[in-house]
Amino acid sequence: MTQPDKRALLAQGLAAGDDDAALHARLTAAGVSAAAAKYEVERLPKDPMAAELRRQTARMAKQRWLFANQQRLAFEADGGFVLGTLDAPAGDHFYRHYYDANRPAKLTRIVDHWPALTRWSLDHFASVAGDAVVEAQVERERDPDYELAKDDHRRLVRFAELIDWLRKDEASNDIYLTAYNSGTNAAALAPLWDDMAPIALLDGARTRDGFFWLGPKGTLTPWHHDLTNNLLVQVIGRKRVRLAPPWAFDRMKNSRHCFSGWGNAALPAGPGTADTPPVLETVLGPGEAVFLPVGWWHQVEALDLSASMSFTSFRRANAHVDDYASYGAL
């Protein structure tokens, strides 16, 4: 009969915040004799690793208390926990009340001056860049970890061939031009940048920045958070965007790096439960945008053939990755 690993059980209990009585119960429930359990618990004060784990657990409990207060404040705010909509917002208002406050928002009438809103179509893409070779994420449906393993799914294709495939208008998550492919696509699709114009909320000196997204109905970016603030602008079709706040960290099941164990789950909009996070939801149509603050979890689903742009070129440094080190399993 395999003997229970007493040290592993103690570590699990200490990480869970067990007191001595709970630790004793945890050991005996796993098959450790009462006498042996008593001995192991009584020797813990002499173990510096156990003492440090208890201190770390106490710190985590304090952080959870702070997160719980942030939730209470969010729910008690005027109007409750909702995603605000800003119509043609002034820059000072946006930065003070949303960007600097790490608060998401839906934005309207910030790209009404873009020729892309009337020009962009599959025919237009084919006419201005059909001969270009672009990079796309492919064969995503065979891999449940397609976002974590993005490098394995990079392929070069003729833009015209991709456009012909998109003309079928079939729902699929198998192929998608994403921001991750922009190292190749920004040059290959440069003519499309002529269909855009500066956005007043962004850094006006960086007019050619931006990341192009194109895919069929059904493309799905699973739950994750970004390491920068992002502005997602919809040009063709609609996308459903779901968001969950950073203070719901425990319920987001952070599994590895910036990805959530919820994956592609369609978490319902609402206040959440003890096990599920509070979720905000909106649908972006052409010309609409959403501000995705750094650390906010989100999931994005294309409801139609979709073309979008995303931007990180705000009037702030927007540099949050230099001290980020949590790339491994959490």
Boundary-marking domain end, from 73, 96, 127: 73
Each residue's pLDDT tens digit in the chain (330 positions)?
Answer: 678 899 999 999 999 999 999 999 999 999 999 999 999 999 999 999 999 999 999 999 999 999 999 999 999 999 999 999 999 999 999 999 999 999 999 999 999 999 999 999 999 999 999 999 999 999 999 999 999 999 999 999 999 999 999 999 999 999 999 999 999 999 999 999 999 999 999 998 888 899 999 999 999 999 999 999 999 999 999 999 999 999 999 999 999 999 999 999 999 999 999 999 999 999 999 999 999 999 999 999 999 999 999 999 999 999 888 889 888 887
For residue 316, tell me if it sits in a domain.
Answer: no
One domain for residues 221 and 104: yes
One domain for residues 62 and 154: no
- Residue type present at position 48: P
Q: Which of 91, 127, 112, 129 is nearest to 197 (CA)?
A: 112
The span from the CA of 102 to the CA of 291, in Å, is: 10
Note the pTM of the prediction, 2 decimals. 0.92
One domain for residues 69 and 95: no
For residue 329, tell me if it sits in a domain.
Answer: no
What is the per-residue pLDDT for 288?
A: 98
Question: How many structural domains are present in the chain?
Answer: 2
One domain for residues 46 and 157: no
For residue 151, tell me if it sits in a domain.
Answer: yes
One domain for residues 46 and 114: no
54 in helix, strand or coil? helix
The domain of 106 spans: 82-311
One domain for residues 55 and 99: no
For residue 202, tell me if it sits in a domain.
Answer: yes
What is the per-residue pLDDT for 274?
A: 94
One domain for residues 24 and 88: no
For residue 327, tell me if it sits in a domain.
Answer: no
Q: How far is CA 324 from CA 140, 227, 320, 330, in A?
A: 27, 8, 7, 13
One domain for residues 129 and 13: no
Specify whether the CB–CB gap between 231 and 310 falls below 8 A: yes
One domain for residues 154 and 29: no
